[in-house]
Chains A and B, each alone.
Chain A
Amino acid sequence: MSIEKTKLSVILASLPRVMKVARRINAAFRQHLEAGSGIIQVRLKDNSVARHYILRDGRIDTAKGLHADPDLDIAFVDAGVALRFLHPNPDQGDIVHFIKNYQVEMVGDDAVGVWFATLVKKMQSGMWKQGGKMPDSTIRYVTNTNGGPVYVFVRDGRIIRTTPIDLAADDPESWTIHARGRSFTPRRQATVNVHALSMKSVVYSERRLKYPMKRVDFDPDGDRNPQNRGKSGYERISWDEALRIVAGEIKRQKTQHGPGSISILHGAHHQMGNVGYWLSALMRFSNIVGATMMEFSPISWEGWYWGAQHHYGNSLRLGLPGAYGTLEDCLKECEMIVFWSSDPEATSGLYGGGEGTQRRLWAKELGVDFVHIDPHFNSTAQMLGGKWLPVRPTTDSALAHAIMHVWITEGTFDQAFVEKHTTGFEDWRAYILGESDGTPKTPKWQEDETGIPARDVVSLARQWARKKTYLAAGGLGTGFGGACRSATGQQWARNMILLMAMQGWGRPGVNFGNLQCGVPLDGTTYFPGYAEGGISGELNKTAAAINNFTRMPHVLTMNPVKQRLPRELSMEGIRDGHCSGYAWDGMSLETQFAKVDYPMTGYSKVHMLYQYGASSFGTTMNSSRLIDMYRDPSVECVVNQAIWQEGETQFADIILPACTVVEREDISEVCGCAGFAHHNQSQMNHRMIVMQHKCIEPLWESKSDYRIFTEILTRLGFGSMYSEGCDEIDWCKRVFQSSDIGRHISWSEFLKKGYVVLPPQLEDARDPVYMRWLHEDGKKNVPEPHPLPGDYSGEFLDGLQTQSGKIEFLPNSLRRGDPDNPERPVLNRYLPAWEGRTTADLARKYPLQLVSSHPRYSFHTQADGKGSHVSEIRDHRLTVDGYAYWIVRLNARDAAERGVAAGSLVKVYNDRAAVICAADVSPLVARGTVKTFESSAEFDFVIGSDGKVLDRGGCMNLLTPSRTQAKGTRAIAPNSCLVNIDRWDGVWGAA
């Protein structure tokens, strides 16, 4: 026998001894051992080495040679492969390689395979210590949220409190920016949003889904009663029955209808993490099942993706500008910040906690001027003060044109920059001056449209030209949300780029931003963001291919179903059996012109909806449409896997209760997205990577999403393939090992402490300022791997992604891809909204314009409703007669005309639906505008006598139009929404 074979025999023979030691000292191992049983056989393919293990009732027995009837047979091609595979600290690349090339084969009962692989892993992972013991006998864990990381203090398996994390003295030093004779250093805390601090209230919410449930009149083997979805009640069933029904239905769907009939639907966000995230665990599940996935529109980027990017590129940011170096440049140079539909104090950028607040207060201390263009005197305006220009919703582009008119007629724009770095300006100039269409876009011209006095436009334009100005467009300052989500959203975003082009974008003190991004952090230390797909193995619909897939070897997964259901049209797709959208794909400017047709030739139409989470009524336009979708007779089965009974959970046939992020392990970077939001963590004052501890055991009968997927797939024989023999903690370690943070902290220390802070960039090695290279005629010099090399028209790093390599006033990509579209013209002319004050008939009936922004206090539906602390915040929901109503904000005069008193209930309505809200009456909203937030988690409805939905949960998107911003796009336009408001004196239920 060779030395390797001898060695293997010895190792296999000694394994039971090692396991017996583990059984004695390792509680997690012992529990797992006692929870399962099986006969596992390990051998070389030629049977020259063979041994089997009989594991039953916690006993460990073994014998040399083959077993007559093993539950699981593991066969290695040779002893060398076996030794490397069985190594206590194996090379994960080896393991994946051996599996992919059939050098190791596992045959038998998949459930035993998953159980045994996990058992082996627990010999190590069961000994890992998580969290730290505190003097008051609590254990201090850490988790991460969409609103920042928190310490979680636990005693006797119960969460006592959650607090923001103050950096320790031995965490790396913070950065300092020297500007205008002052030094600015951030507070040493990872600041959080209020929805992060509400964690405990939603974890222990009475609205948690506690057990698997089945709709009482859903019989998978008989009458399914789809018409009763949203009406009938539920009965508790066992996990065994739930999994049997779901796995059985997956099989039945595929057998009966063929590929494509199962559709997996989900929201845009999940609780933070790299393992449990929808782009990770769910994507891996979807690919292995083979499912029709949704085609999203980038719904917070809309106008930038479908519009702005055509002028200057940045498709790999979905049209948003980058922010490198802008914090320091802004603090040193900037004299005025124009916040245009930009309320970072409300929206916290994206996952930014309270990080930007202190920096904006520095700008105030420095005497920077502020202007706020927004129909709402918003939270940021309230904090900073400055000039408020209450523009009418959807008319912002007219204001932008008039500003440019002043600059052109007064010669106060950067003519040298325009000449050198842009194309098409002459045509643009002729349009603005009215030479080409007879209408000069003067300040007076815009007055009737926008409601902004012409004199204020002149003042603004002159100040802007005179002062070094940052344009804060959207919540991030570099786009995102707000005005880009209306019928005129892409016009507006396009104008933002053109304004900056005329003022010499990249010149010191002239850039995009609102101090939310561009912090001098070190971006070179690699840690994956959630958009990198985590454990998904999906290379095309995540950013895994860039780093994750090579850094964390794991088995590739591919979805054989190429059919996709455009999210905003999924209701029509189900109802009518067909629909069409356009692609979300940032690889180039051109990919968005591709049509996405449902159904795709050859695939089955959808007959099963596997809904993940329950946010759609609060987040999908004209969302009454969902009711018909769920009740459509062609939908044979609806599964809802969710944490809480809320939103659309009430429309499911089978409910699978998932646990929250604090009841399972995960790992993530605070504010870390990667992908289309590359270096998103530059919103943070300190880069922080978090071990998301399993702080408590899953409550009631809930299970982690990963566990649910594993158990469904194990019933179909895919469990080992899905899990790769890993529990969530094992995946966390694999993510840790795939990153660079091992240079800063060991795995065991990371597990105990729960986070690591990465040092900032050295002061003299900070990133250059965004677009400075263009301004200075240099080559691109910021650490942003965009555009793709093939998208440079000239030399590598020379110029922009556009055909000319310059900022194009009349984009070539639109000329080529969509040349004759009257709703998205090549020349970005002003087109009034298709739902707004100029649609006179509708406006007479519904004279108020509803603006529903990203919510301030909840993260979309997360932390809203369900008895959360957030729902008791006066400015989020208002409790009237014991019910917490959503809030609409309206001008005192609009309220008075309708007899609406502050704090009273009102009915907000149009032809689509009606929502009962509580009124906040003040002068802080311009006349004619109603300001609210989107993303109510509560959908509490009746169907009125007019057949329309009447909701008191607060789903304002019941009212918003589902029409796309412009032909040729799939851009949502919720901020083009006319409504009226009446006092609500009705009695709920008596309607």
Chain B
Amino acid sequence: MMADLKWNMVVDVALCTNCNNCVVATQDEYMGNAFPGYSAPSAPGVKVMEIDRHVRGADAMVDVSYVPRMCQHCDDAPCVRQGDEAVVKRADGIVIIDPAKARGRRDLVNACPHGAVVWNDVENVPQIWTFDAHLLDQGWSAPRCVQACPSGAMAVHKVTDADMAARVEKEGLTVWDPQAGTKPRVYYRHLDRVTTHFIGVQIHAGEGDGEINVSGAEVELTLDGRRVMAARSDAFGEVRFDGLADASSGYAVRISHPDYPADTCVVEGALTESRVVTVKLGR
């Protein structure tokens, strides 16, 4: 039944390049435009969508992920609870702050645990990314940010909650801040690039002019002596063990290569951020 179909958004963190087309397409939509019932015009500096940068690693072993952040259109949204009539949860899942009823409601900015409600001083209203509901209601198939994304990092799905749950399960989607318990309708793929750490290993051997990277070494990651995962070092003598959760101390890497004596390197301290260890074989 049509009434059961609800909007959801999926952002693939691995595909976001920080090009900012989504951010600016959204600014373009609301600059100078009032959409009664949906949104007051935007104002300079008022951004309902932003991209956060997350950097992992050190030295020359780093990676970067970008996470577009916006209203999560939560099914259990604190802003709806606090907003009385001013904030509405529509049957299709979209949350709307009514620009007329929410005048002066600065309190709604603090209601959101995701920091997604921003204050527009010019219009004297709190604002969110509306999912571009006024366009969807006119028959657009996707909001502006999705259409403007050149890498396909954003997609929307108008499906039943059951179908979405199946997709979440199948594709391993997660939400930004599950602890908040607000049941967001915005999901992320590859968010583990932000929420987990990597241990990078650089392996070399020899001295002076004879110094080389050791490729093809068998490298094993252990936690408290138990094998976690293993990989071979690449042409630059490097291995990256990714997807590691916060852990107290106990990680170590064991390196074996037919040309060198085996070596073990303990990753000092607790793993609270990505780490790079350098191992020199044959000493």
> Which residues does A use to contact B, with CB under 8 Å?
135-136, 158, 160-164, 166, 187, 189, 191-194, 197-198, 200-201, 204, 345, 353-355, 357-358, 361, 369, 377, 379, 382-383, 385, 387-390, 442, 444, 453-456, 458-460, 462-463, 857, 867, 869-870, 872-876, 879, 922-924
A599 to B160 CA separation, bound complex (whole angstroms): 76
A194 to B213 CA separation, bound complex (whole angstroms): 41
Nearest residue, chain B, Cβ from A882? B45
B25 interface residue per 8 A CB criterion: yes
Query: Quick check: A197 and B148 within 8 Å, CB to CB?
Result: yes
A361 to B51 CA separation, bound complex (whole angstroms): 20
Q: Which 3 A-B pairs have the closest CB atoms?
A: A354-B150, A191-B150, A382-B64
B262 interface residue per 8 A CB criterion: no
What is the CB-to-nearest-CB distance from A373 to chain B, in angstroms, rounded to a whole number?
11
A463 to B212 CA separation, bound complex (whole angstroms): 13
Query: Quick check: B62 and A388 within 8 Å, CB to CB?
Result: yes
- With A462-B235, A872-B47, A924-B55 known as contacts, the answer to whether A382 contacts B17 (CB < 8 A) is yes
Query: Quick check: B29 and A874 within 8 Å, CB to CB?
Result: no
Query: Quick check: A387 and B25 within 8 Å, CB to CB?
Result: no
A-facing residues in B204-219 (Cβ within 8 Å): 204, 206, 208-209, 211-213, 215
What is the CB-to-nearest-CB distance from A857 to chain B, in angstroms, rounded to a whole number?
7
Query: Quick check: A357 and B212 within 8 Å, CB to CB?
Result: no
> Of the candidates A162, A166, A194, A458, which one forms a contact with B19 in the assembled complex, judged by CB atoms under 8 Å apart?
A194
- With A194-B20, A354-B21 known as contacts, the answer to whether A444 contacts B62 (CB < 8 A) is no
Q: Which residues of A contact B21 (CB under 8 A)?
A: 192-194, 197, 354
Can you list 13 A-B contacts with CB-CB less than 8 angstroms, sorted by A residue number?
A162-B28, A198-B24, A354-B150, A355-B150, A358-B151, A377-B64, A382-B64, A385-B63, A459-B213, A459-B237, A857-B20, A873-B23, A875-B18
B243 interface residue per 8 A CB criterion: no
> Of the candidates B19, B62, B63, B150, which one forms a contact with A358 in the assembled complex, judged by CB atoms under 8 Å apart?
B150
Query: Quick check: A387 and B20 within 8 Å, CB to CB?
Result: no
A357 to B17 CA separation, bound complex (whole angstroms): 9
> Of the candidates A136, A163, A388, which one forms a contact with B147 in the assembled complex, judged by CB atoms under 8 Å apart?
A163
What is the CB-to-nearest-CB distance from B225 to chain A, in angstroms, rounded to a whole number?
31
Q: Which residues of A contact B20 (CB under 8 A)?
A: 194, 857, 873, 875-876
B60 interface residue per 8 A CB criterion: yes
A-facing residues in B54-112 (Cβ within 8 Å): 55, 57-64
Query: Quick check: A455 and B211 within 8 Å, CB to CB?
Result: yes
Looking at chain A's contact residues, is the secondary structure mostly helix, strand, loop, or mixed? mixed
> Of the candidates A164, A194, A377, which one forms a contact with B62 in the assembled complex, judged by CB atoms under 8 Å apart?
A377
Nearest residue, chain A, Cβ from B214? A455
> Of the candidates A187, A460, A874, A879, which one forms a contact with B51 in the assembled complex, judged by CB atoms under 8 Å apart?
A874
Query: Quick check: A453 and B211 within 8 Å, CB to CB?
Result: yes
Q: Which residues of A contact B18 (CB under 8 A)?
A: 379, 382, 875
A458 to B23 CA separation, bound complex (whole angstroms): 43
A382 to B144 CA separation, bound complex (whole angstroms): 25
> Of the candidates A166, A358, A389, A872, which one forms a contact with B60 in the assembled complex, judged by CB atoms under 8 Å apart?
A389
Query: Quick check: B138 and A459 within 8 Å, CB to CB?
Result: no
Nearest residue, chain A, Cβ from B139? A135
A198 to B62 CA separation, bound complex (whole angstroms): 31
Q: Which residues of A contact B270 (CB under 8 A)?
A: none
Nearest residue, chain B, Cβ from A206? B44
> Of the candidates B53, B150, B236, which one forms a contact with A459 in the assembled complex, judged by CB atoms under 8 Å apart?
B236
Query: Quick check: B212 and A455 within 8 Å, CB to CB?
Result: yes
Nearest residue, chain A, Cβ from B58? A923
Q: Which residues of B contact A442 (CB under 8 A)?
A: 209
Query: Quick check: A458 and B32 within 8 Å, CB to CB?
Result: no
B33 interface residue per 8 A CB criterion: yes
> Which residues does B use to contact A, with CB under 8 Å?
15, 17-21, 23-25, 27-29, 31-33, 44-45, 47, 50-51, 53, 55, 57-64, 138-139, 144, 147-148, 150-152, 204, 206, 208-209, 211-213, 215, 234-238
- With A354-B19, A361-B15, A923-B58 known as contacts, the answer to whether A463 contacts B235 (CB < 8 A) is yes
> Of the candidates B31, B59, B238, which one forms a contact with A200 in the assembled complex, judged by CB atoms under 8 Å apart?
B31
Q: Which residues of B contact A444 (CB under 8 A)?
A: 208-209
Nearest residue, chain B, Cβ from A467? B235
What is the CB-to-nearest-CB distance from A419 to chain B, in angstroms, rounded to a whole number?
28
Query: Quick check: B138 and A869 within 8 Å, CB to CB?
Result: no
A872 to B234 CA separation, bound complex (whole angstroms): 41
Supply 18 further A-B pairs (C-beta < 8 A) apart from A455-B213, A462-B235, A869-B24.
A136-B138, A161-B28, A189-B147, A189-B150, A197-B25, A204-B32, A345-B19, A354-B19, A354-B21, A357-B151, A358-B150, A382-B17, A455-B211, A458-B212, A869-B31, A923-B62, A924-B55, A924-B62
A341 to B5 CA separation, bound complex (whole angstroms): 48
A433 to B212 CA separation, bound complex (whole angstroms): 20
Nearest residue, chain A, Cβ from B60? A388
A867 to B44 CA separation, bound complex (whole angstroms): 8
Q: Which residues of B contact A189 (CB under 8 A)?
A: 147, 150
A204 to B44 CA separation, bound complex (whole angstroms): 12
Nearest residue, chain B, Cβ from A382? B64
A357 to B152 CA separation, bound complex (whole angstroms): 10
Q: Which residues of B contact A879 (CB under 8 A)?
A: 45
Q: Which residues of B contact A136 (CB under 8 A)?
A: 138
Query: Quick check: A164 and B24 within 8 Å, CB to CB?
Result: no
Query: Quick check: A459 and B235 within 8 Å, CB to CB?
Result: yes
- With A387-B238, A459-B213, A923-B62 known as contacts, the answer to whether A194 contacts B17 (CB < 8 A) is no
What is the CB-to-nearest-CB distance from B135 to chain A, in angstroms, rounded to a whole number?
9
Q: Which residues of B contact A924 (CB under 8 A)?
A: 55, 62, 64
Nearest residue, chain A, Cβ from B21? A194
Q: Which residues of A contact B235 (CB under 8 A)?
A: 369, 459, 462-463
Q: Which residues of A contact B19 (CB under 8 A)?
A: 193-194, 345, 354, 357
A761 to B69 CA separation, bound complex (whole angstroms): 41
Query: Quick check: A387 and B17 within 8 Å, CB to CB?
Result: no
Q: Which residues of A contact B33 (CB under 8 A)?
A: 160-161
- With A162-B28, A459-B213, A870-B24 known as contacts, the answer to whether A382 contacts B63 (CB < 8 A) is yes
What is the CB-to-nearest-CB distance from B176 to chain A, in angstroms, rounded to a whole number?
18
A879 to B215 CA separation, bound complex (whole angstroms): 46
Nearest residue, chain B, Cβ from A458? B212
Query: Quick check: A161 and B147 within 8 Å, CB to CB?
Result: no
> Of the candidates A163, A385, A455, which one forms a contact with B237 in the assembled complex, judged by CB atoms under 8 Å apart?
A455
> Of the candidates A166, A345, A454, which one forms a contact with B17 in the assembled complex, judged by CB atoms under 8 Å apart?
A345
A296 to B29 CA separation, bound complex (whole angstroms): 39
A369 to B238 CA separation, bound complex (whole angstroms): 13
A815 to B64 CA separation, bound complex (whole angstroms): 47
A361 to B152 CA separation, bound complex (whole angstroms): 11
A556 to B144 CA separation, bound complex (whole angstroms): 46
A198 to B27 CA separation, bound complex (whole angstroms): 9
Q: Which residues of A contact B208 (CB under 8 A)?
A: 444
What is the CB-to-nearest-CB distance from A684 to chain B, in angstroms, rounded to a whole number?
13
Query: Quick check: A164 and B147 within 8 Å, CB to CB?
Result: yes
Query: Quick check: A161 and B60 within 8 Å, CB to CB?
Result: no
What is the CB-to-nearest-CB distance from B43 to chain A, in angstroms, rounded to a whole number?
11
Query: Quick check: A201 and B25 within 8 Å, CB to CB?
Result: no
A383 to B206 CA separation, bound complex (whole angstroms): 33
Query: Quick check: A872 and B27 within 8 Å, CB to CB?
Result: yes
Query: Quick check: B148 and A164 within 8 Å, CB to CB?
Result: yes
What is the CB-to-nearest-CB distance from B281 to chain A, in angstroms, rounded to a whole number?
12
Query: Quick check: A874 and B237 within 8 Å, CB to CB?
Result: no
Query: Quick check: B17 and A163 within 8 Å, CB to CB?
Result: no
- With A382-B63, A388-B62 known as contacts, the answer to whether A455 contacts B204 (CB < 8 A) is yes
A192 to B138 CA separation, bound complex (whole angstroms): 24
Q: Which residues of B contact A876 (CB under 8 A)?
A: 20
Q: Which residues of B contact A389 (CB under 8 A)?
A: 60
A204 to B25 CA separation, bound complex (whole angstroms): 16
Q: Which residues of A contact B151 (CB under 8 A)?
A: 354, 357-358, 361, 383
Q: Which residues of B contact A160 (CB under 8 A)?
A: 33
A377 to B63 CA separation, bound complex (whole angstroms): 9
Q: Which residues of A contact B31 (CB under 8 A)?
A: 200-201, 204, 869
What is the CB-to-nearest-CB distance from B1 to chain A, in angstroms, rounded to a whole number?
26
What is the CB-to-nearest-CB distance from A391 to chain B, in angstroms, rounded to a whole number?
11
Nearest residue, chain B, Cβ from A868? B24
A377 to B56 CA separation, bound complex (whole angstroms): 12
